[in-house]
Amino acid sequence: MMKKTLFLALSLATALSGGALANDRYRERPPVIISPDLAAPWVMQLAGPNARPVVYPRQAAEPRPVYRQRAYQQREPRAVQRRGILDQDRAQPVAMRPQPVRSRIEPQFLPQTVAYETKERPGTIVIDTNNRFLYLVTGDGQARRYGVGVGKPGFEWAGEHRVTRKAEWPSWVPPKEMIAREAAKGHYLPARMEGGPENPLGARAMYLGSTLYRIHGTNAPWTIGSAVSSGCIRMRNEDVVDLYERVNVGTRVIVM
């Protein structure tokens, strides 16, 4: 009987202590975590009057990396070093290259041996400005004929002279009259230009007497057969080289 009473007493004490612990555990309610977006009044009512909402501030989202499309840059065509000449036109597409307008030289203006009846001695040069031909008399009723460019209207002339000087790749000193005339048109000529492929006198020159006129080459071969010069007789470079080798200083020249 004594043992039974003791057991009941221990059981009751345990129950009472457990209830006290439970009351102590829930005496203060745990904090209610509420999102800033849900902190509305009706939500607070659900939490109860004694709730202590703990609101954690929203952290700013990390900025997303911005991927920009790299702008396409068209590369400039590289110049091509070819045979010692900086040739930029070959580096450009064909459609972008400047296309010079050049008329094809007529076959009759190419060098050829023709029948030519004259009383002039072999070695004489006869220039027919009307037909744009230069004849080098060879004798036996023949002559070597070349196509030439002659003086434009207002610059025609005729006469007889002799070759007083020969020059290879001559330099060019424009006459003062030509400089003034071209300046009035807005074209400014250099006081002097050294010989070379860009020089308008071309590869060779044969000076006529004490005049300003010459038989010379040209860097514009498509003008052969036309009246375009300021009085000089111009030839293709390959033709003037051929003539240059065939005549000497003192050669008689007839311009008609």
| Cβ-based neighbours of 178, under 8 Å, separated by 6 or more | 189, 230
Give the rounded distance of the alpha carbon of 198 from its chain centre.
20
Burial of 111 (C-beta count, 10 Å sphere; 0-12/13-18/19+):
middle
Tell me, yes or no, if 161 is annotated catalytic. no
Show Cβ contacts of residue 170 under 8 Å, excluding neighbours closer than 6 positions: 195, 199, 201, 204, 205, 216
Q: Which two tokens stand for residue 145?
A: 């004929």
Residue 242 has phi, psi (to 5 degrees) of -65, -45
Q: Which two tokens stand for residue 147?
A: 């196509």
Catalytic residue among 144, 214, 216, 236: 216
Query: Which of the residues 143, 148, 232, 255 is marked catalytic?
Result: 232
**In the chain, what is the straight-line distance between the N-terminal and C-terminal CA atoms, in Å?**
167
Determine whether 216 is an active site residue. yes
Rounded CA-CA distance 164/63 in Å is 88
Considering only CA atoms, which of 213, 232, 212, 242 is closest in space to residue 146? 242
Contacts of 231 (CB under 8 A, 6+ apart): 151, 155, 156, 157, 212, 213
CA 246 to CA 235: how far, in whole Å?
15
Q: Which residues are catalytic?
A: 216, 232
